[in-house]
Amino acid sequence: MGQVIDLAPVDDADGSRWLVLTADGTIVALDPDDDRVTVLASVELVDEPGRQPWLDHRLRRRLHVSGCGRFAAVVNDFGRYGQVVDLDRGGAVTLALDGGDYHANTVPFALVFARVDGRPVVLHRTRWNRLDVSDPATGELLTARELEKSAEGDRPAHRLDYFHGRVLCSPGGRALADDGWVWHPVGVPTVWALRPWLDGNVWESEDGPTRRALCHRDYHWNGPLCFVGDTLLAVGGIGDDDETMLPGVRLFDVASGRELTTFAGPAGAWFSDGRRLYSAHPDGLHVWDPLTGHRTATVPGFVPTCRHRGTGELAAVTDGVLRRCRPA
């Protein structure tokens, strides 16, 4: 199968199904309950020679998969380029992605799949300060908009001074979260609603009424971030400056932007089933009550990289082996 460089779940599959991306650009489906491995496509990995790492963030390939499993995106985190492919058509490219080169090395490539009215859509960065939504089957742009010209020296209406970072969609597709930053480097995790963006206000992601900036942290972004159900967002890092930041959770209400609770402890990558928060520490998996902050369980030695929403499994590929854990 080759060296696995990323793993992603097919959340709407009937059972445990996962896709992996190998170092040579092959996308492979894993059906572990049936002991089946299927090669789906071979994609061209876009190189970005000369890309200088920012802090310790080196360019890396990332695999995203739509819930239905038909579409995949391979992007360069901390880079500029990527592509969306149709796996039902052997990996045909439906959308070439270009997120722009302005400080692209400071953030993962902003992209997430969502489902609206039963059909998949893909949200993706098209400039450092712009996100769009497209149809992954055709590449059609669903959020077309243009800034109006303004008088010289005036800032155009809706122009956003925000570097879009990692984006997430809540489990039910209601809300979006963005772990981006503003000058002069301040991390500002932000949330807004998906449907108003597609149903009438194409500027919702810039300055729409549902958009909320949750907090401000000097020189701190690219930390843990996780939806807890559709209404809560867990933001990693306690403090307002990277030099004094403590590992832990700040839990926010998505609709109001109000901070509900704070507790120390969770670090690494985070996942949630709506009732529990899972944190993947170097020593293993830790399980927390996100409302009280109590740690309720640990799984030593198991460090997952993603969670399957359909089965509830947490998983990682280690030494070429898919390892899974399904919490009770």
pLDDT at 199: 95
Helix-, strand-, coil-residue percentages of the chain, each rounded to 5: 5, 50, 45
- Tokens 């280690």 -> residue: 318
Cβ proximity of 139 and 149 under 8 Å? no
CA distance 63 to 80: 15
**DSSP helix/strand/coil, 98:** strand
pLDDT at 151: 60
CA angle (90, 93, 98) in 5-degree steps: 150
> Rounded to an integer, what is the distance from CA 147 to the centroid of its chain?
27
CA distance 285 to 200: 42
pLDDT at 154: 65
19-36 tens-digit pLDDT: 999 999 999 999 999 999
98-131 tens-digit pLDDT: 999 999 999 999 999 999 999 999 999 999 999 9
291-307 tens-digit pLDDT: 999 999 999 999 999 99
Asked whether residue 152 carries a pLDDT value surpassing 70, the answer given is no
In sign, the C-alpha dihedral spanning 178, 279, 29, 25 is positive
Residue 35 neighbours by CB under 8 Å, 6+ apart: none
56-70 tens-digit pLDDT: 899 999 999 999 999
Asked whether residue 150 carries a pLDDT value surpassing 70, the answer given is no
Tokens of 47: 């190189």
CA distance 58 to 183: 22
Residue 52 neighbours by CB under 8 Å, 6+ apart: 105
92-102 tens-digit pLDDT: 999 999 999 99
pLDDT at 246: 97
The domains located in the chain, with CATH, are: 1-46+57-106 (2.40.10)
Greatest Cα-to-Cα distance within the chain, rounded to the nearest angstrom: 64
Mean pLDDT confidence for 142-166: 85
Cβ proximity of 87 and 74 under 8 Å? no
Rg value, the chain, Cα: 19
pLDDT-derived band at 170, boundaries 50, 70, 90: very high
Tokens of 247: 């590992």
CA distance 131 to 239: 28
